[in-house]
Amino acid sequence: PARLAGHSLGEYSALVAAGTLSLHEAAKLVRLRGQLMQAAAPAGTGAMAAVLGAEDSLVQEVCEACSAREVVVPANFNSPGQIVIGGHADAVDRALTMLAERGVRKAVKLAVSVPSHTPLMREAANRLAEAMTGIQWSVPTLPIVQNVDAETRTDPASIRDALVRQLYLPVQWTHCIEALVAAGVTRIAECGPGKVLTGLVKRIDKTIDCRALGSAADFDTALEEWTHA
């Protein structure tokens, strides 16, 4: 591999794969992260929704218009035409109503109550940062392309800082894939169950050979084909 990246929580998996975090320490951080996020947005106060077929600029404009009293912001830029918004539940509802009025035909509320990657997670991020100071961070064996800004990092301190900011800033997944392409990456392996990221990658750049490796057989097939390509 030439680079590593992970979507949202998957960034922790990428850091373990790169040797920056041990699996034990990453598991402790992920558990704490979930606890802090839930405490920051008690059940019923937050919401998220997937908006399909809308331009980034329209979603941003509508979120700003609906944020006078409460928070609603783009939380995940997953691919062109697929953006997740999040924030206070009522503000998310207002944004969905306005998007429909502006011609957006499909938007789906997600079955989550914690609005991750929004400013509502700022206090949770501060507390997570405190916990991170007591953990050993190592230089990654491979560069990490991080969610907050699609920048490639190898310095443990800057990696840690970006991981903290990821909790309250949007996931820039489209830009992450574009950064990989700009770095010369032509093949991407999605490691883990499912094919969600593979689908997103194909929407972002159809020239990338992306494979979902959900089993040992998938891995063997991809390795064989890529080795002899």
Q: Quick check: is 8 catalytic?
A: yes
Domain span holding position 222 = 186-229
Measuring CA to CA, which residue among 47, 127, 131 is closest to residue 90? 47
pLDDT tens over the chain, length 229 residues? 789 999 999 999 999 999 999 999 999 999 999 999 999 998 889 999 999 999 999 999 999 999 989 999 999 999 999 999 999 999 999 999 999 999 999 999 999 989 999 999 999 999 999 999 989 999 999 999 999 999 999 999 999 999 999 999 999 999 999 999 999 999 999 998 899 999 999 999 999 999 999 899 998 999 899 988 7
Same domain, 28 and 137: yes
Residue 62 lies in a domain: yes
Residue 151 lies in a domain: yes
- Structural domain includes residue 173: no
Asked if 218 and 160 sit in the same domain, the reply is: no
Domain annotation covers residue 177 = no
Q: What does the alpha-carbon distance between residue 78 and residue 3 come to, in Å, rounded to a whole number?
A: 19
Q: Please check whether residues 5 and 17 belong to one and the same domain.
A: yes
Give the chain's domain count.
3
pLDDT at res. 42: 86
Is 101 in contact with 41 (CB distance < 8 Å)? no
Would you say residue 178 lies in a domain? no
Q: Establish if 179 belongs to a structural domain.
A: no
Tokens read off for 202 = 């194909």
Q: What local confidence, expressed as pLDDT, does residue 113 receive?
A: 85
How many Å apart are CA 52 and CA 173, to the nearest integer? 15
Enter the pTM of the model.
0.94
Please tell me the predicted confidence (pLDDT) of residue 128.
Answer: 97
Q: What is the DSSP letter of 147?
A: T
Assess whether 49 and 86 both reside in one domain: yes
Active-site choice (8, 22, 67, 113)? 8
Catalytic residue among 7, 88, 116, 117: 117
